[in-house]
Structure 1
Amino acid sequence: MNRRFQTLKKLPVAMALLVSSIAAHASEAPTVTHITPTWQQTLTQAKGETVYFNAWGGSQEINDYLLWANTQLQQRYGVTLKQVKVTDIAETTQRLLAEKTAGKNSGGSVDMVWINGENFRSMKQNGLLYGPFTHQLPNWKYVDKSLPIDKDFSEPTQGLEAPWGVGQLVFIYDPETLKKPPKSFKALLALAQQHPGKISYPKPPEFHGTGFLKAALLELTTDKKALYQPLKLPQDQALFDRVTAPLWHYLDQLHKVAWHQGKQFPAGTAETVQLLDDQQLLLAITFNPNAAAAAIANGNLTDKAKTYAFNAGALTNIHFLAIPWNANAKAGALVAINFLLSPQAQARKADTNLWGDPTILSPQAFKQLSAPYNQQSFKPYPAIAEPNPTWLAAIEQQWQQRYGN
C-alpha cells in the first residue's frame, strides 16, 4: 500500500480525537511561549516589518480572519500582515520565478505564501523557498506530528513549509431541495441528467475545480496506482491518455446537462455556495468540512444546509505556509507563521462562526485556553490521498483544450 495512503488513513482518527478534545476558544490573553535568545533576535528584527502575504482571497471569512491576525500581530509584535489576494497561487509562483531569473535575491515582492501541492513542488524544485525554518518556530511543538505533514502531495516538505490546516473536498446541499444527495461521481451524473442545469463545479485551474477533476478521476480510472507515480511528458503521453480517458468521457456527458450546458462555470467555491442558496445549483463544493456551518452562521446559507462526502471518502490534503528565498521581511514572516500556529489563532480559525478550518495542532495544545467557542462536532471523512502533483498541470491543460472558453 502507498505510504501516503497509509498515513492519510490515520487522519480521520487523529482529527476526530482532536475535535472532541478542543473545548476552548482562544482568550485574548497572549499564548505563553518560552523565548529563546535566537527567537528573541527574530522578534527584535521583525518589529516594524510589513509581511506581504500572498493568499487566496476568495472567501470573506478567511479574509476577515487574516484582518484579525494582522491586528494581533501589530499589537503583540509590531508586525503588519498585509494580505495580497490572489485567485491562483500559481501566479505568485511565476512572479517569484521571474525574480529568480532576474537575479533578484533580496528585497522580493512576496514575504509569505499559502501553498500546497504542485505550487510547493514547483517552488521547491526551482529554489524559491527559504528554509528549512519550521524548527525555529516556538509553536512548532504544538503541531500534531501524527498528521501527514512531512509530505505535500507526495513531495517531502523538509521544513520548507509549515502546516496551517486540513482540507477535505466535500459537498454542501439543502435537504429541502435534494432529499438524497449522490454518493459517487456516477450517481452525480445521473442526478445531473435528472435535473438539467443544476450541477456544476468551479472552472479549473481554480483549486476547487481542479480538486473536482482529481476526485472524479480517482473514482473513474481503472489505474489509480499510476496517479501516485511521477508523470513525465511527452514520454508518458500514452499512459496519460489511457489513465485519464474515463474522466473526459464522463465530463463530455456531464457538461451536456450541467449548469449553462458546461459553457460557463462558477468562479470558485463562494459562487457555488451562492448558487446553492439561490437554488440554481443542487450542490456546492468546498475543501472545508465546516464550510456549511460557517456559511450558515454568516447568513449565506439556509440553516438546513448539510455537508457530506461521497462513499469512497474525501480528497484530503494539508495546506501550508512558506517563505520565499528572497523575502524582504523574513523575520516578520517567521513571527507571523509562528502566531498562526499558536493555540489561540488555530482555535479561532476552527471556530465555525468565523472560518471553521480544522486545526493541525495536537489536543494538548488547547488546554491553556479558557472561553468556549464553536468548533462544529463532525466526524472527519475517510481520506483519499492527493495524486502526484506532476499529473495536475497536464490534467488542467487537457481540460482547457477540451472545455476552456
Structure 2
Amino acid sequence: MKKRIAALLLSTVMAFSLTACGNSAKTEKADNKETKQTTEAVEDMSFDEMVDAAKGTTVTFYGWGGDDSLNDWLDNYYAPRLKEKYDITLERVPMDIDAILSQLSGEISTDKKDGDIDMIWINGENFKTCKENNMLYGPFAEELPNFQSYIDTDDEETNADFCFPIEGYEAPYGKAQLVMIADTAVTPDLPTNTDEFMEFCKANKGKVTYPALPDFTGSAFVRNVIYDICGYEQFMDMEADKETVKAAIEPALEYLRELNPYLWNEGKTFPKDSTALTNMYSDGEVVMDISYSAYSTATNIENGTYTETSQSFQFDKGTIGNTNYIAIAANSGNVAGAQVAINEMMDPEVQADRFTEIRTIPVVDYNKLNDTQKEAFDKVEIGKGVISQDELLSKRLPEMPSALVPIIEEIWAEEVVGK
C-alpha cells in the first residue's frame, strides 16, 4: 500500500497554497443532479443528516488495486451493502498511491472544488505529507458512531500513524503485521531471532533473500532486523537526520552485510518486490517468504501457491505491525457520503465478514462487542499455517516515525547492497 511520493508531487504540493482547501465548496451528485453544500454545512450535520444527504450519491474510493481478494470483497460485499443500506454507489478506482496523491495535489492546486477523489486508502509517509499540506478533509473520524462505539481510542495506532498524530483525519481500515513463512517439511527448525536467522541462512546458503528496498515488505523486514538487534524504543522520537539514524542502526547494518554472502545471489541483488519473492518461494528457488499480510499463509495454502506444510513464524521479540486507514480528500465532492461509507467499514458485521473472507486483522475492539458480535469473529476459521491473533498481537511492534523510513532505505542501498 505505502509507496514513496514522487518528487514531482512534492514540488507541486509546495508550489501552491493549500490553506483554503478546508473551506472550499463540496458537491454531492445524485442522479445527475448537483446539490451544492459548503464544508461548513457538512460539518454542522448530524450523522443521520449525512445519511440523508448521501442517498443516491456516488462515493469514489481510490486505493491500491493489487489485492484481488480485497477487490472482490469490496466489489461484491461492501459496495452492494452500501447500495442496499444507504443507496450509495461505491466507485472503486484502483491506482497506486503516488498517482492518487499527484492527482489530488493537481486538483487542489487548480482549486477544483468538486474533486474526483472522495475516499483514499492511505497511511504512513503519504498521510503525513497530505495532512501537513492540507490535502485532507477533517477532523471527522472521532465523530462517526462506529468509531465511538467499536474502536479502541486508547490504542496507539488509533491516535498515531507511523508515530504521526492522526487527530481525526483518517479512520482505521485494516491491520497488518509482518510474518515470515517457511516449509516445515524442508526447514523444520525456524529461527526465533536474528542470530538464529543467520544460522538459518548459512544452512540454506543461496536460498534465502528479501525484497529490495523500498519495497514495502522488504523495508519492513529490514526495520524488523534493526529492532531485533538495536531495539525499537530509541527510534520512536529520533530526529530524522541521516547521520543520527546511521549511527543508531550500525550494528544492524553490519549484520546485514555479514548476511549477504549467504543470501540468494550473494546479496548482490534482491527480488524487486514481495510478489517476486512469493513466486520464488512457490517455485522452490528460495526456502522462505515474507509477508505483511499476517494470514496470507492460509490463503496461499488454499490456492496452491504454498505447500500444505508451510508455516508462518516471527521472532520472539516480535514483528512490526501497522494499521492502514481511510482518509477523505480535502476537495471531495461528497464528504457526507464518504463519512457514511467509512463509518460502515467500521461496523462489526462488516469487519467480521472481511475477517472471514480475506483474513484481515480486524480494527474493531473485541472487548467493545456484544456476545452476538463476538460470536461472528470467534467462529472464523483462519486456516492452516498461521499464527494465532492473540500471539500476533502480543508480539506486535510499532512502526517507526515515517520520516525515518526513507532514510533507512537510502542507507541500506548505500551500505548493504553488494557489500
Q: Same fold (TM over 0.5)?
A: yes
Give the whole-Å Cα distance in 1 for the aligned partners of 2:169 and 2:135: 10
Give the whole-Å Cα distance in 2 for the aligned partners of 1:195 and 1:390: 35
Which of structures 1 and 2 has the bigger CA Rg? 2
Give the whole-Å Cα distance in 2 for the aligned partners of 1:110 and 1:209: 30
- 1:15 alignment partner in structure 2: none
What secondary structure, in the 3-state scheme, does the structure 2 residue paired with 1:303 have? coil
Closer, same or farther: CA 299–326 of 1 in aligned 2, 3 Å: same
- 2:178 alignment partner in structure 1: 169
Give the whole-Å Cα distance in 2 for the aligned partners of 1:109 and 1:205: 29
Contact 1:349-1:356 at 8 Å conserved across structures: yes
Equivalent in 346, 350, 369 of residue 341 of structure 1: 346
Pairing 1:131-210 to 2, within 5 Å after superposition: 131-140=138-147, 141-148=149-156, 149-210=158-219
1:266-312 Cα distance to aligned partner (Å, 9 max, x none):
45444433332322222211223222122223333223222111111
Give the whole-Å Cα distance in 2 for the aligned partners of 1:136 and 1:348: 24
Give the whole-Å Cα distance in 2 for the aligned partners of 1:57 and 1:203: 21
Closer, same or farther: CA 137–276 of 1 in aligned 2, 3 Å: same
Give the whole-Å Cα distance in 2 for the aligned partners of 1:255 and 1:109: 46
Equivalent in 35, 41, 66 of residue 74 of structure 2: 66
Cα shift at 1:230: 4.1
What secondary structure, in the 3-state scheme, does the structure 2 residue paired with 1:349 have? helix
Amino acid of the residue matched to residue 129 of structure 2?
S
Larger RCO (CA within 8 A; separation ≥ 6):
1
1:335-366 Cα distance to aligned partner (Å, 9 max, x none):
22112111121001212xx2111112133436
Moved more, 53-62 or 336-345: 53-62
- 2:381 alignment partner in structure 1: 374
Equivalent in 351, 355, 358 of residue 355 of structure 1: 358
Amino acid of the residue matched to residue 379 of structure 1?
D
1:193-232 Cα distance to aligned partner (Å, 9 max, x none):
33233222223223212211211122233x7444212424
Amino acid of the residue matched to residue 127 of structure 2?
F
Cα shift at 1:313: 0.8
Equivalent in 402, 407, 411 of residue 389 of structure 1: 402
What secondary structure, in the 3-state scheme, does the structure 2 residue paired with 1:379 have? helix
Contact 2:51-2:340 at 8 Å conserved across structures: yes
Contact 2:246-2:411 at 8 Å conserved across structures: no
- 1:126 alignment partner in structure 2: 133
- 1:245 alignment partner in structure 2: 250
Closer, same or farther: CA 105–190 of 1 in aligned 2, 3 Å: farther
Contact 2:256-2:416 at 8 Å conserved across structures: no
Pairing 1:1-400 to 2, within 5 Å after superposition: 38-68=46-76, 69-87=78-96, 89-100=97-108, 102-140=109-147, 141-148=149-156, 149-221=158-230, 224-232=232-240, 236-351=241-356, 354-363=357-366, 364-365=368-369, 367-369=371-373, 372-375=379-382, 377-381=388-392, 382-400=395-413
Equivalent residues, number = 362
Cα shift at 1:132: 0.9
Contact 2:267-2:417 at 8 Å conserved across structures: no
Amino acid of the residue matched to residue 296 of structure 2?
A
Closer, same or farther: CA 279–119 of 1 in aligned 2, 3 Å: same
Contact 1:105-1:325 at 8 Å conserved across structures: no
Point out where structure 2 has 5 or more consecutive residues left out of the alignment.
Answer: 1-43
Contact 1:50-1:332 at 8 Å conserved across structures: yes
Query: TM-score with structure 1 length normalisation?
Result: 0.80
Amino acid of the residue matched to residue 334 of structure 1?
Q
What secondary structure, in the 3-state scheme, does the structure 1 residue paired with 2:223 have? helix
1:6-27 Cα distance to aligned partner (Å, 9 max, x none):
xxxxxxxxxxxxxxxxxxxxxx
Cα shift at 1:249: 3.0
Give the whole-Å Cα distance in 2 for the aligned partners of 1:263 and 1:85: 34
Give the whole-Å Cα distance in 1 for the aligned partners of 2:365 and 2:245: 39
Closer, same or farther: CA 285–45 of 1 in aligned 2, 3 Å: same
Amino acid of the residue matched to residue 322 of structure 1?
A
Contact 2:51-2:336 at 8 Å conserved across structures: yes
